[in-house]
Amino acid sequence: MAAPIPPFTHETAVQKVRLAEDGWNSRNPEKVALAYTPDSRWRNRAEFVNGRADIVAFLTRKWAKELEYRLIKELWAFTGDRIAVRFAYEWRDDSGNWFRSYGNENWEFDDAGEMHHRYACINDLPIKESERKFHWPLGRRPDDHPGLSDLGL
């Protein structure tokens, strides 16, 4: 099956969001970077990232800090070549402190379906390990695992 390309329908936008979630849950910076144009531009929190090499460096740092990373993304809105998502991910630091990070992203794609702009706003909430909701084995979220709305997030 070919990757979804603009203009997006509801079905292809949902598929694109799940493919992005799966990529990020792989925690493979080189693989994830291939979903973005070579000159992709990001704003992630207060950090600006430009191009695939910067994306790989950013994600390598991110996943060295954010251990046991598990992410769920959900479609919020779409039109033409743009998709808006909301997401949450859980992770722990090297001291064993757990967090749930909440955010929103706005994406813009080229005609080939590669993302060329990504704007992310993210907030971190300290949680107790007992408050975790994302318990699947590291990697892709199982199809039968609840999404954000199902979890009340």
Q: Which CATH architecture has domain 10-128?
A: Roll (3.10)
Residue 77: the pLDDT is 98
Domain extent listing, the chain: 10-128
What is the spatial distance between Cα 69 and Cα 89, in angstroms, rounded to a whole number? 7
pLDDT 10s digits, 4-17: 999 999 999 999 99
Cα-based distances in Å from 135 to 89, 101, 125, 139, 142: 11, 15, 17, 11, 10
Mean pLDDT computed over 50-66 = 98
DSSP secondary structure string, 7-29? SPPHHHHHHHHHHHHHHHHHT-H
Q: Give percent of the chain with pLDDT exceeding 70.
A: 99
pLDDT 10s digits, 64-79: 999 999 999 999 999 9
Strand boundaries in 93-151, DSSP class E: 98-109, 115-127
Mean pLDDT computed over 42-70 = 97
Residue 1: the pLDDT is 64
Mean pLDDT computed over 96-105 = 98
Confirm if 151 and 133 have CB atoms less than 8 A apart.
yes
Query: Cβ atoms within 10 A of the Cβ of 55, count?
Result: 23
Residue 28 has which token pair? 């493979």
Residue 39: in which H helix or E strand, if any?
Answer: strand 36-44
pTM of the predicted protein model: 0.97
